[in-house]
Structure 1
Amino acid sequence: MAKAKSAFVCTECGAEYSKWQGQCSNCREWNTLTEICLGSARPGASTPGSSGARGGYAGTLSREVVDLSGVDLTEVPRFSSTFEEFDRVLGGGLVPGSAVLLGGHPGAGKSTLLLQTACRLAQSKRVLYVTGEESLSQVAMRAHRLQLPTQGLKMLAETSIETLLAVAERERPEVLIIDSIQTMHLEDIGSAPGGVAQVRESAAALTRFAKQSNTVLLLVGHVTKDGTLAGPKVLEHMIDASLLLEGGSDSRFRTLRGQKNRFGAINELGVFAMVELGLKEVKNPSAIFLSRSEEQASGSLVMVVWEGTRPILVEVQALLDESALGNPRRVAVGLDHNRLAMLLAVLHKHGGLFTGDQDVFLNVVGGVKVLETSADLAVLLAVVSSLQNRPLPRELVVFGEVGLSGEIRPVPSGQERIVEAAKHGFTRAIVPRGNAPKKAPAGMQVVAVDKLAEALEAL
């Protein structure tokens, strides 16, 4: 009898162990090890998960030692996904032989985006769309409602990896879409679909097929309540690109952000609008996020953030109200909550303005999540505007990082941010001195500051 081989995998970081232990030695988390079956260990036989993520690259790795200077630098071939915003986040388009994971909350539009992409690509390429969550009639009804071209798109309703790969071997698609990886299962794995073992080994088998057949693999993945990808972390190590589609049910805008990309930058942002006919590209996000009311209100200010390779103008709103609680609230939507607390302390220490008795609410209009520190100065000036109930000029734009000693630090691509603001009609900018241009754009007054006190005086 062949002996069954098993291992214990951490669901947080993907570390493997030969036996169970209470704490993962790699990420230091407790009770995260789950046993997975690796199949039967026969002499000379390989199991679906025996090589983990590394098994997927067996057909593409060089077996000979070569000198780095002799490696071919030919550009990796790409083809368009038919969405410019999708291509932007991918780094220029889809790469044959790559595995891309698209995650997001239910209702974000993952299936809609991939169905639109599949129907368009099917007009010129061989595409196989595998659905494990919906019936073929449900997918066809959605395609009909979105008025998509359905000719040429091959469909398969299947959850068995063995059957799926057999069909893929016969059809030889150039693009293979799996919706979703949590529904797929291997017969040799005893656990239920969606479990650590099934997700890990199913993704490994599909990635191996994509690498060996030069097929573009697009996987749909669900996320947990805290926004992280459901399943083992090792899944993120297997794939080449991990994308997250964000957007609440109360917003018609969706943002596609890269979290990992072996073929491009990870800080690119694609913006879509959910309309009756599916997801529509927003090629000028600044115009969308700057749809401000005509009436001037205190606490409202426009800032310039840098997303990937382009600047985007977004509006930040602050609301301060006298707190009736012993511990005033600090609420930040679209910004880092901990950084808000730090900036309020800097405002008190170096700006002389006390907010310890105020409830502070911050919001970035349009549902955008601002991850960079260039928003610091705009956040503080919006807070001051609301605190003193004095509206800021509508033609004012602000960016800059604030240090703990009250200094205003320069940020990358400052010149491009100022030019973008001038294009949208802004005539005054408060920026770090290190970002002040030698010659300001026509019609733009640039105020360069070194300290927070100087920025407050400039208002």
Structure 2
Amino acid sequence: MPKQKSFYVCQECGYESIGWMGKCPSCNQWNTFVEEIQESKGKGRGGTALTNVKPVNINEIQTDNEERYLTGMKEMDRVLGGGIVKGSLILVGGDPGIGKSTLLLQICDKVKINTKVLYISGEESIKQIKIRADRLNVRNSNLLMLSETNFKVIQALSESERPDLIIVDSIQTMFNDDLPAAPGSVSQVREITSGLMRIAKTLNIAIIIVGHVTKEGSIAGPRVLEHMVDTVLYFEGERHLSYRILRAVKNRFGSTNEIGIFEMRDVGLVEIDNPSAMLLSERTESVPGSVTVSSLEGTRPMMIEIQALVCPTSFGMPRRMATGLDYNRITLLMAVLEKRVGMQLHNFDAYVNVVGGLRIDEPACDLGVIAAIASSFRNIPVDMNTVIIGEVGLTGEVRAVSQIDKRINEAMRIGFKSCVIPTGNMKVIKQMKEINNINVKYVENVQEALNILL
């Protein structure tokens, strides 16, 4: 009997080594190498007759209209690009307890009529799933439940039942008997995902798999996992807040810029059709340090409140804290205020927060952040009916932003009376129709904007 060969695999990034290492040279993580047995060459999948493989001329390939399953949740369909494509493999990741299983169980109930769904759980028994389904009022008669972790059983059941949609919760609990590695290891995750991909493509079954995330927020397992699937969705949100954001980071059948917003309630996840009104519902009138900005997430403009608090420091080194914004960007904007406007902020602590638990990475909110900091520093409130839009450069200039027409239309729909925007967007605004309901003010630099706002 030949001696089995082993190698060591990093459980964070999938880096392979012939010997154990304390620190992974790829991801720089410590104590992540696990020994795995190398597969024998006789167990490979190379048994296909190569003589039967022939290329096909692209003009001879017949394609049908891209068939999709509507999930019954508009926010989910928006992120997916119009629904679940038949034969696609979708990966949903998120922190523990964020609501991944709740979201997928609700989809099982709301998916279009006559769609056969198979829900496979490796973490809960079917009775536990039934208890959660009763709480969420899931009553779909076409929903089949299975508590199983053996991939061969799942593969055989997929071929016999032929469901339209399969949900696997989660990929880290599944295992294949042919591999000696433990469930959740790099080899098992890679092999199970490859097997699910073959099922999805050969049987034309849409499959959604749940993936755990690491403490850094990335999908646990090898990075190749995200490359293998068709779509990668991240379910984000603070656990102590009720709002959740579904974001696509990869989508072969749609845009990766769309987001879906939900609210976690006792009856499950509820879609937020009007996020701007929701985020601005608790604004306080005439309070220094509070401004409204327009952030564009995909094709959806949202009105978001930014709050700033500036107070004298009690230490030699002033504190700078940012929640929902890039800390380095806040430091940069405060330096612009000191150099270009003359505000002496070096002896003041500054705290900046995005209301609602959202995270903003768009430069179009720069001018709003500067206005919030300056408003708190001077103790002068900004008109709550004003929206502030603009990117700020290091010389203090206010640069034009993209899709200004969508931002202005959303501001008018919510009921704002005035808007401060860059002069570079003047040409686009003049081409817009029905803009008489809002007073648009153009600014070229930070000083000019503050003169108007404060």
Alignment of 1:16-415 (within 5 A): 29=28, 36-37=36-37, 39-42=39-42, 45-47=43-45, 63-64=54-55, 66=57, 75-121=65-111, 123-415=113-405
Q: How far apart in 2 are the matches of 1:188 and 1:414?
A: 56
| 1:120 CA displacement | 2.5
Following superposition, the deviation at residue 158 of structure 1 comes to 0.5
CA distance in 2, matches of 1:416, 1:458: 23
Unpaired segments of 5 or more residues in structure 1? Answer: 56-61
**TM-score (structure 1 length as normaliser):** 0.89
Q: Quick check: 1:122–1:151 contact (8 Å CA) kept in 2? A: no
CA distance in 2 between counterparts of 1:137 and 1:225 reads: 30
Task: Report how many aligned residue pairs link the two structures.
Answer: 445
The equivalent of 2:452 in structure 1 is: 458
Contact 1:146/1:277, CA 8 A, preserved across alignment: yes
Return closer, same or farther for 1:335/1:420 CA change in 2, 3 Å cut-off: same
Helix, strand or coil: the match of 1:305? strand
Give CA deviations for 1:168-196 in whole Å, capped at 9, x if unaligned. 12111111101111111111222322222
| 4+ aligned runs moved over 3 Å, structure 1 | 1-25, 27-38, 69-75
Taking only aligned residues, the RMSD between alpha carbons, in angstroms, comes to: 2.7
**Equivalent AA in structure 2 for residue 336 of structure 1:** D
Q: Distance in 2 between matches of 1:378 and 1:14?
A: 42
Cα distance between partner residues in 2 of 1:2 and 1:203: 29
Distance 1:359 1:184, change over 3 A: same
Counterpart check, 1:442 vs 2:432:
no
- Listed one character per residue, the Cα deviations across residues 2-28 of structure 1 (whole Å, up to 9, x for unaligned) are 775766655555566778788878x57
Residue 59 of structure 1 corresponds to which residue in structure 2? none
Change (3 A) 1:287 1:180: same
Per-residue CA deviation, residues 316-367 of structure 1 (Å, 9 max, x unaligned), is 1111121212222221111111211111112212222122222211111111
Tell me: CA distance 1:89–1:449, structure 2 relative to 1, closer, same or farther (3 Å).
Answer: same
2:39 is paired with a residue of what secondary structure? Answer: strand
Determine if contact 2:91/2:209 at 8 Å carries over to the other structure. Answer: yes
> What SS is found at the alignment partner of 1:178?
strand
Aligned partner of residue 68 in structure 2, secondary structure: coil
Please give the per-residue CA displacement for 1:23-62, whole angstroms capped at 9, x wherever unaligned. Answer: 878x5747666654452212xx525xx99xxx9xxxxxx9
* Range moving further from structure 2, 435-444 or 374-383: 435-444
The answer on whether the counterparts of 1:2 and 1:40 sit within 8 Å (CA) in structure 2 is no
Matched-pair contact (CA < 8 Å) for 1:3–1:40: no
Q: How many Å separate the matches in 2 of 1:38 and 1:214? A: 32
What TM-score does the superposition give when structure 2 sets the normalisation length? 0.90
Counterpart amino acid of residue 444 in structure 1: I
Is contact 2:12-2:27 (8 Å) kept? no
SS in 2 for 1:39: coil
